[in-house]
């Protein structure tokens, strides 16, 4: 449908405008989609999805066509690519979803001389690049392709060490942790540069996920997290700087805003208005529609009304983007996701 395609193209333009903070523009929407929703829409199993580029691409394409959008399709490596590239062992659960098995025999000191990862050869970073290249070459011409999001340094290191041991490391051996975090940051810069080489001018944004940062105090965030953000985002001038942290991050919000991020995907656990105030309206915020209460369990009419209310409440900021406070859940109905999108399109 030509009119529908124009509407989605306009939404993409509005998104870029909102990220830059242009007041007076309409509110765009942004969907956060990964394997659980794709699996529930298409029936693809984890062991098939994660092990074959064509299967992943086709499943994502089919899911987006069901939703009526143009993507983007993107390599989905779960939470394991970055930690696996630094030596973490990948395991799979009964549904075929990958995670990292923590090596309980290793001490923090064992990582002291760990070199930065080579994204072309190490762990699932290499798989991501292989899949991304496949998507660019073989993907449908009407479907956008984007780079993979990545776990930020703190979340990568916590995945590698185990969250409990990582938190103890912060207190007992902060210098060694800083060294490991810097190695993770250098690895991510190489990873994103490799994606940029494949995508060229289509490499428009960096999306890092960092829920674990919410576990830290403000002084810990400023010491251990902020430098990594600044180093990684700073290595890519002119590229949009996105962050996903849907944890209870209100206590670090002001510090997060100072790192130079442009878009923050927040969670339902924090209040949108409070987060705008704490970030001093410097960052585009998306989220707060509850993925389970609103999208999974609500009706189409309830989702539409809730989305409409959210747009009206925060349009004045010039920085609000309509989305869910977390990734869309397994079992969410197509009609409810379309209601979210339609609310934004209607008000635009």
Mapping DSSP onto H, E and C, the string for the chain reads: CHHHHHHHHHHHHHHHHHHHCCCCCCCCECCCCCHHHHHHHHCCCHHHHCCCHHHHHHHHHHHHHHHCCCCCECCCCCCCHHHHHCCCEEEECCCCCEEEECCCCCCHHHHCCCCCCCCCCCHHHHHHHHHHHHHHHHCCCCCCECCCCEECHHHHHHHHHCHHHHHHHHHHCHHHHHHHHHHHHHHHHHHHHHHHHHHHHHCCEEEEECHHHHHCCHHHHHHHHHHHHHHHHHCCCCCEEEEECCCCCHHHHHHHHCCCCCEEECCCCCCHHHHHHHCCCCCEEECCECHHHHHHCCCHHHHHHHHHHHHHHHHHHCCEEECECCCCCCCCCHHHHHHHHHHHHHHC
Q: What pLDDT is stored for residue 288 in this prediction?
A: 87
Q: Cα(348)–Cα(344) distance, rounded to whole angstroms?
A: 6
Q: What is the pLDDT along the chain (348 residues), one digit of tens a residue?
A: 544 777 778 888 889 989 987 766 789 999 999 999 999 999 999 999 999 999 999 999 999 999 988 889 999 999 999 999 999 999 999 989 999 999 999 999 999 899 999 999 999 999 999 999 999 999 999 899 999 999 999 999 999 999 999 999 999 999 999 999 999 999 999 999 999 999 999 999 999 999 999 999 999 999 999 999 999 999 999 999 999 999 999 999 999 999 999 999 999 999 999 999 999 999 999 998 999 999 999 999 999 999 999 999 998 999 999 999 999 999 999 999 999 999 998 875
Please report the pLDDT score of residue 2 as a whole number: 45
Return all residues near 209 (Cβ < 8 A) that are at least 6 apart.
Answer: 79, 149, 150, 151, 152, 155, 243, 244, 245
State the pLDDT at residue 176. 97
Please tell me the predicted confidence (pLDDT) of residue 199. 98
The C-alpha torsion from 34 through 37 and 38 to 39, rounded to 10°, is 120
pLDDT, residue 1, reads 55
Closest CA to 78 of 155, 163, 162: 155
Say what the pTM is. 0.95
Q: Cα(17)–Cα(27) distance, rounded to whole angstroms?
A: 10
Q: How far apart are CA 131 and CA 56, in angstroms?
A: 9
> Whose CA is closest to 177, among 234, 232, 220?
220
Q: Is the peptide bond before 72 cis (omega within 30 degrees of 0)?
A: yes
Give the pLDDT confidence score for residue 182 in this predicted structure. 98
CA 87 to CA 33: how far, in whole Å? 27
């Amino acid at each position: 449908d030509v009119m529908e395609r124009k509407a989605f193209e306009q939404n993409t333009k509005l998104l870029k405008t909102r990220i830059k903070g242009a007041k007076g523009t309409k509110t765009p929407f942004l969907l956060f989609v990964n394997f659980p929703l794709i699996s529930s829409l298409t029936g693809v199993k984890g062991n098939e999805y994660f092990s074959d580029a064509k299967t992943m691409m086709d499943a994502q394409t089919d899911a987006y066509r069901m939703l009526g959008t143009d993507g983007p399709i993107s390599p989905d490596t779960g939470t394991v690519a970055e930690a696996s590239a630094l030596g973490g062992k990948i395991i799979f659960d009964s549904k075929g979803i990958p995670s990292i098995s923590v090596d309980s025999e290793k001490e923090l000191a064992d990582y002291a001389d760990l070199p930065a990862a080579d994204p072309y050869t190490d762990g699932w970073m290499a798989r991501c690049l292989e899949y991304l290249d496949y998507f660019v070459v073989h993907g449908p011409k009407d479907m956008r392709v984007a780079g993979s999001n990545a776990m930020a340094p703190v979340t990568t290191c916590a995945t590698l060490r185990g969250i409990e041991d990582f938190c103890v490391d912060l207190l007992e051996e902060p210098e060694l942790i800083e060294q490991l975090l810097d190695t993770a940051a250098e690895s991510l810069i190489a990873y994103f540069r490799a994606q940029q080489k494949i995508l060229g001018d289509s490499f428009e944004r960096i999306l890092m996920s960092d829920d674990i940062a919410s576990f830290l105090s403000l002084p810990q965030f400023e010491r251990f997290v902020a430098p990594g953000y600044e180093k990684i985002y700073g290595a890519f001038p002119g590229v949009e700087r996105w962050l996903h942290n849907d944890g209870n991050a209100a206590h670090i919000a002001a510090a997060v805003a100072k790192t130079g991020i442009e878009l923050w995907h927040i969670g339902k656990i924090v209040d949108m208005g409070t987060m705008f105030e704490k970030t001093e309206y410097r960052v585009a915020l998306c989220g707060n529609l509850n993925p389970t209460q609103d999208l999974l369990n609500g009706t189409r009419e309830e989702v539409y009304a809730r989305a409409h209310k959210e747009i009206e409440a925060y349009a004045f900021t010039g920085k609000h983007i309509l989305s869910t406070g977390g990734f869309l859940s397994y079992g969410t109905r197509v009609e409810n996701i379309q209601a979210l999108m339609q609310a934004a399109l209607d008000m635009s």
